[in-house]
Structure 1
Amino acid sequence: MRIATAHTYDTAIANLQERQQKLSISQQQLTSGKRVNVASDDPTAAARAERALASMARHEANQRTLDASRNVMNIASGALGNATDLLQTARETLVAAGNGSYSDGERKALAMKLSDIRNQLLSVANRSDGGGGYVFGGQGSSSPPFVDGAGGVVYQGQGGETLASTDEHLNLSVDGDQIWLKGKTGNGVFNTAPAGNTITSTPNTGTAWITSGSVASPTQVPYPAATQPGPTYTVAFHVTGATTTYDILEDGNPISSGQTYNTGKEIGIPGKGMSVAITGAPADGDSFAITEAQNNLNIFNSLDSTIAALKSTNQPAGAVMQAVNSGMTQIDAAMRSIQGAQSAVGEQLNRMDGIETRIADLKLAAQTEKSNAEDLDMVAAISGFQNQQTGYQAALQSYASVQKLSLFQYING
């Protein structure tokens, strides 16, 4: 078979170009550190890398959302801590106001202190989240959600929570309406309050006052009632000479009668698992009521009523002690609401640590998948590049030698 010289040259040049192209591709891979630089290098691997890249972007977005939620929850936790401190100060102020030797002017000064605490609480409730919103704005509010008006503080936000659009439950706000205006009243189970004098149809005229009460047997307590409103229990007093007795009524019907009254001694509601203490000297016809606790405690309005009571002048000792005791009961109820919210926020912050770990693990898995799909094995690539380089140099030398093998060069030589 005859092989033409031109064919030999063409074959050699094509081989050199092929080797040079492979060498160029290897050099590009070594420079970029990637085996797949364009989709045509390996369409399947390129698709895997693209899916992994999209997954990484989602996880990074979830991380940014988590950071935003954590920021709001940290602000909320700090605000609720501030509120607890303020309420504790208010409680201590009320304890001082119960000093029987204080004058009306001294109690008025304490009322002014309570008023300042109340205003600070309002500022805490309207705390900004640093991004144009409000921590306790519920489902969103472009202006402070708690507004102080003539009738007291009202909530102008939308109740509920703003949640991030992720698979995880991440809050971007807190339900301020529930925390600040819908706490559980009384001792959390029932309320106590003066019910008025049944003879004169006026407020109680004696010096007696009632405590917030306690639960002795939870299984007997009639609250929460199956039907609303729940039953009302009344402790009604009768004074004859030096003898004071009381009756206990359920919705106006006697369930205990003619019990001897001893100031400060616990009075149990028969068969209901509840007891209260009444201290002082009740007048004939004075009465006190026990009703079911409700979810409508407005922290600010409660402080307003206590402040108004302390500012009143010429109040009998019983009325002062009742105002102080009722105010302390309401503050305790408010602190329960605040501390419950603080626990919920703390739990969310703890849960976020776990979410952050999962996001980091998923992001690392996506990065590993992307690396496996497109990254270059540097050791194998360098070895291959050196082999290709050696082969290319040999091919060049071979071609240079073949070029000299012609009849004309032989004759000339």
Structure 2
Amino acid sequence: MRISTAQMFNQNTTSISKGQSATNKILEQLASGKKINTAGDDPVAAIGVDTLRQKNALVDQYVKNVDYAQKHLGLSESKLGSTETLMGSMREQLQRAANGSLSQSERQMIADEMKDSLEELMSIANTKDESGNYIFAGNNTNNPPFAFDNNGEIVYSGDSGERQSIVASGVTVGTNVPGDTVFMNASNPLGDYGVNYLPSQQGDFTVDKAAIFDSAAHVEDTYTFKFVDNAGVLDLQIEDSGGAVISTVPNFDSSNPVSFNGIEVQLSGQPVAGDSFTMEPQETVSILDSFNEAITMLEDPSFADSPQGNSKLAQLLNDIDSGQNQVSAARSIAGNSLKSLESISTNHAEEKIVNDSALSMLEDLDYAAAITEFEKQQLALNAVSSVFGKVGSISLFDYI
């Protein structure tokens, strides 16, 4: 068989090119530390590597979302803890003011202390995060959620929005607690109606319950309760907002509940003839409004140790207790979410370890094997180059 010079040249150059290509591939692997640098290196393994990298990218995004949620919920939980402490102190101040032996100037001093505490409480309710967003404003994070209006009443300008963060596949966590949920919408301790005690009150009594027990028979209205003397016996007349008497309870006994229009009312203490109070629908109470009303009451000398003031004070203390429970519940929600995020974060870390281990098996280079292969390729390349050099230098004229 005769081999032409051109054929011999092509075969040798091809062998040298393949050897150089194999050597360069190993050099790339040694430089990167990866045995798969392109899909062509190992198409099947490359698909697995791409899938694992996508999973890790998704886990990394989840981890960022978890960090964001933890940061904001941690701030909320901390501020709610401060709120609980401050509210407890304010409640103690209000109870101290209930001492009938205090002078008006002493009550005013307590009112001034509570004013400072209320300002601090408002400051907490208007807390900003690191980006300048108000954390208790719902979705309306650009404006302070709580403020005093021109009448000195506290208004909420945020909303009930709860921002959600996706922290795992199919799992979302709220990253904020809306301010109305925390400070505004505590359950009315009386039930479904609020009570307004009047300055004409002389008896020592309070309303302990005003709740709807039969929604089908319930007629929503503002009702007036009047205690009248009927030949030496105390009767109770209940009037609607139009002044019509809708129910009369003869020989009133405060130990027995009063029922009318699907509503049940329970009193404690002893009213006297001439006493009256009004009652209107009210499902929730605000801890901020309760403290604000308490301060106003302490500053008004007419409330000092009066039957109306004592009844109003008892109601405010109950409202404050309900508000404290509401704040505690909101703090518990934030705390429980933080615990869940800790568990989710641990799961993500474990998943990342498993993915990284699988990636390492697929793409990490065995340096010892690669160096051995590199030396083999170098030896083969040198041998081919040497043979090509010697064969290429042979000439017929050397033998003539």
Aligning the two structures, in what range does the TM-score lie when normalised by the shorter sequence? 0.7 to 0.9
Say if 1:235 and 1:248, in contact at 8 Å, map to a contact too: yes
| SS of alignment partner, residue 173 of structure 1 | coil
Structure 2-normalised TM-score?
0.81
Number of the residue aligned with 1:85: 85
User: Offset of 1:407 from its aligned partner?
Assistant: 6.2
Say if 1:224 and 1:292, in contact at 8 Å, map to a contact too: no
Separation (CA, whole Å) in 2 of partners of 1:195 and 1:106: 24
Q: Which moved more, 1:311-320 or 1:78-87?
A: 311-320
Number of the residue aligned with 1:347: 336
Query: RMSD value over aligned CA atoms?
Result: 3.7
Number of the residue aligned with 1:160: 161
- Seen in structure 2, the aligned counterparts of structure 1 residues 10 and 283 have a Cα distance that, compared at 3 Å, is closer
Say if 2:19 and 2:381, in contact at 8 Å, map to a contact too: yes
Deviations 1:197-234 (A, max 9, x none): xxxxxx443141316459xxxxxx74483576569998
1:376 aligns with 2:365: yes
Separation (CA, whole Å) in 1 of partners of 2:50 and 2:312: 70
Say if 1:194 and 1:287, in contact at 8 Å, map to a contact too: no
Say if 1:192 and 1:211, in contact at 8 Å, map to a contact too: no
Number of the residue aligned with 1:309: 297
Aligned length: 390
User: Offset of 1:154 from its aligned partner?
Assistant: 1.4
Separation (CA, whole Å) in 1 of partners of 2:342 and 2:279: 45
Structure 2 unaligned segments of length 5 or more: list them: none
Number of the residue aligned with 1:135: 135
Number of the residue aligned with 1:206: 202
Separation (CA, whole Å) in 2 of partners of 1:368 and 1:248: 80
* Residue type at the aligned position of 2:289: N
Say if 2:201 and 2:276, in contact at 8 Å, map to a contact too: no
| SS of alignment partner, residue 170 of structure 1 | strand
Say if 1:230 and 1:292, in contact at 8 Å, map to a contact too: yes
Superposition pairs for residues 6-405 of structure 1, below 5 Å? 7-8=7-8, 10-43=10-43, 45-151=45-151, 152-164=153-165, 167-187=170-190, 189=191, 193=195, 203-210=199-206, 212=208, 222-223=212-213, 225-226=215-216, 229=219, 237=227, 257-258=250-251, 267-269=255-257, 278-279=268-269, 282-287=271-276, 294-295=283-284, 297-315=285-303, 316-364=305-353, 366-368=355-357, 370-399=359-388, 402=391
Separation (CA, whole Å) in 1 of partners of 2:369 and 2:214: 75
Say if 1:16 and 1:392, in contact at 8 Å, map to a contact too: yes
User: Offset of 1:240 from its aligned partner?
Assistant: 8.2
Q: Which moved more, 1:320-329 or 1:87-96?
A: 320-329
Structure 1-normalised TM-score?
0.79
Say if 2:49 and 2:363, in contact at 8 Å, map to a contact too: yes
Q: Which moved more, 1:222-231 or 1:314-323?
A: 222-231
Say if 2:227 and 2:276, in contact at 8 Å, map to a contact too: yes
Separation (CA, whole Å) in 2 of partners of 1:227 and 1:153: 35
- Seen in structure 2, the aligned counterparts of structure 1 residues 259 and 5 have a Cα distance that, compared at 3 Å, is closer
Sequence identity percentage = 26
Structure 1 unaligned segments of length 5 or more: list them: 197-202, 215-220, 262-266
Separation (CA, whole Å) in 1 of partners of 2:197 and 2:177: 37
- Seen in structure 2, the aligned counterparts of structure 1 residues 233 and 372 have a Cα distance that, compared at 3 Å, is farther
* Residue type at the aligned position of 1:179: V
Q: Which moved more, 1:13-22 or 1:71-80?
A: 13-22
Deviations 1:114-170 (A, max 9, x none): 222211111111000121211011113312121211231212223322223675323
Say if 2:138 and 2:176, in contact at 8 Å, map to a contact too: yes
Q: Which moved more, 1:154-163 or 1:102-111?
A: 154-163
